[in-house]
Amino acid sequence: MLTRRRTWSALAAAAGLALLTATTPIADAQPAPARGLYSLQGAHTSAQRTAVANAGVDIAGSSDGTLSVVATPEQAASLRANGFTLNQVGDFDQLLAQRSKGTGVYRAGDFPSGDEGYHTYAETTAELQKAAKDHGDIAKLSSVGKSFEGRELNLLTIGGGDNKPGVLFTCNQHAREHLTTEMCLRIVNRFTDGYATDPKIKEMVDGHTIYVIPNVNPDGSEYDISGGEYHGWRKTRQGQGVDPNRNWDYKWACCGGSSDNPGAEDYHGPSAFSEPETKAVAAFVDSHAQQIKTHIDFHTFSELVLWPFGFTEDDTTEGMTQEEAKRFQDVGKEMAGTNGYTPEQSSDLYITDGDVNDWAWGKHKILSYTFEMYPKNGGGLDGFYPPDEKIGEQTTRNDAAVDIIIREAK
């Protein structure tokens, strides 16, 4: 499957125009519009927040009617004209550059200076290889496929075997949400290192199969830290990028919960599963659908526990009975009781379509949640890029909730 750009490159090369395309890359032809980071007030209802999302801005966090958004000056003016209050925190790209300076010592290929505690894709892969090597009796490293740029989509399988109820953890659909990769690594290390010494861990591992995919979007996360600076990148790296969490093939692009503009941060892609990453993870789930019972997909930020459906504001609808909705609410509230997050139906935040929870439940009846991790409020760039000192406390914070979602796989 070729994208339009790759088709053009192939045609140009065939016509002897390779030099032209090489010296005039389309992406560099126009300067990128200035992006501001804003605190937006007055978005108290799901309908209001959906309207903000539909304006094409990048919503990074939501708390008590205040959104943290990245917008162009035109988008900001349009939102103000529609009654929202926007205070500019700063120029987004300048803030990113400042945030990236850190200690001033940058090692090529690593996170920006000062944040080296985060794991790059290579470091994450090495951690998974070590877990599989040190715990070969219970852990196995494999891959569900390759990213657009050819990186393996690593899968670490812990415990049980194919006949034990399965639970799936996925992280890093959104490129810049690096704390989520650390969350998946926390799960891997806790259930492998703890197996020999902690009877509770041993019981959970023996009774289940735990599947962990720490990097669903490794091209995006590597791009986001390239060159020693954060780029504020959210999407995949095919074409102008696709929001992978609007690309799943259930009610895809149905309901105004994603954009058909390729430049938008919530662009749903030219078709459902246009992205090799979502397609590969979905194929893995399809092939284990009888076994996988529960799922958490980790994101940042806002400290929320979210459940389907996202495409409709209705609590119950076709594919979601009252009893099923109550189970989502009960388990969601129980998990939120352990980590202090706010539990709610996904569409209570704003309408989304084509997200992973709607697909996992809608297609396979997997009890599927999204966790929006630390922090609750944005406060400048800390919502996007919490300092690496936060990794330990903010991943262990979810240990008890992880235990609950494993318990619910039965």
Which residues are catalytically annotated? 372
User: Could you tell me the smallest distance in angstroms from the CB atom of residue 229 to Zn ion?
Assistant: 20
CB nearer Zn ion, residue 315 or residue 382:
382
Residue 175: strand, helix, or coil = coil
| Nearest of 208, 214, 227, 226 to residue 178 by alpha carbon | 214
How many residues touch Zn ion under the rule CB under 5 A: the total is 3
* Distances 365 to 12, 44, 328, 385 between C-alpha atoms, Å: 47, 31, 11, 33
Residue 345: strand, helix, or coil = strand
Q: Which tokens sit at 275?
A: 């992205």
* Pattern 115-154, Zn ion, x by CB under 5 A: ----------------------------------------
User: Could you tell me the smallest distance in angstroms from the CB atom of residue 209 to Zn ion?
Assistant: 26
CB nearer Zn ion, residue 251 or residue 299:
299
User: Could you tell me the smallest distance in angstroms from the CB atom of residue 299 to Zn ion?
Assistant: 3
Q: Are 224 and 246 in contact (CB under 8 A)?
A: no
Q: Is residue 251 part of the contact set for Zn ion (CB under 5 A)? A: no
C-alpha 35/C-alpha 55 separation (Å) is 14
Q: Which stretch binds Zn ion (CB under 5 A): 98-106, 112-120, 269-277, 292-300?
A: 292-300
C-alpha 115/C-alpha 387 separation (Å) is 6
User: Could you tell me the smallest distance in angstroms from the CB atom of residue 177 to Zn ion?
Assistant: 5
C-alpha 265/C-alpha 243 separation (Å) is 6
Q: Which stretch binds Zn ion (CB under 5 A): 10-18, 97-105, 167-175, 373-381?
A: 167-175
Q: Are 358 and 250 in contact (CB under 8 A)?
A: yes
Q: Which tokens sit at 53?
A: 């999302």
List residues bridging with 165 in a β-sheet: none
Q: Which tokens sit at 30?
A: 């126009």
Q: Is residue 295 part of the contact set for Zn ion (CB under 5 A)? A: no
User: Could you tell me the smallest distance in angstroms from the CB atom of residue 87 to Zn ion?
Assistant: 23
CB nearer Zn ion, residue 111 or residue 384:
384
User: Could you tell me the smallest distance in angstroms from the CB atom of residue 134 to Zn ion?
Assistant: 31
Residue 269: strand, helix, or coil = coil
CB nearer Zn ion, residue 159 or residue 375:
375
Q: Is residue 174 part of the contact set for Zn ion (CB under 5 A)? A: yes
- How open is the CA angle 103-105-110, to the nearest 5 degrees? 105
Pairing between β-strand 292-300 and β-strand 342-345 as defined by DSSP bridges: unpaired
Residue 59, Cβ density class (10 Å: 0-12 exposed, 13-18 middle, ≥19 buried):
buried
Residue 112 is given by DSSP the state: S
CB nearer Zn ion, residue 174 or residue 251:
174
User: Could you tell me the smallest distance in angstroms from the CB atom of residue 245 to Zn ion?
Assistant: 6
Q: Which stretch binds Zn ion (CB under 5 A): 107-115, 162-170, 214-222, 293-301?
A: 293-301
CB nearer Zn ion, residue 135 or residue 176:
176
Q: Which stretch binds Zn ion (CB under 5 A): 62-70, 135-143, 175-183, 347-355?
A: 175-183
Q: Is residue 299 part of the contact set for Zn ion (CB under 5 A)? A: yes
Interacting positions 2-61 with Zn ion (CB under 5 A): none
What are the residues whose beta carbons fall under 8 Å from the beta carbon of 97, sequence distance 6 or more?
Answer: 229
CB nearer Zn ion, residue 178 or residue 299:
299
**Count of beta carbons in the 10 Å neighbourhood of residue 2:** 9
Q: Which helix (H) or strand (E) holds 170?
A: strand 166-171
C-alpha 271/C-alpha 252 separation (Å) is 8
Q: Which stretch binds Zn ion (CB under 5 A): 50-58, 108-116, 147-155, 296-304?
A: 296-304
Binding footprint of Zn ion on the chain (CB under 5 A): 174, 177, 299
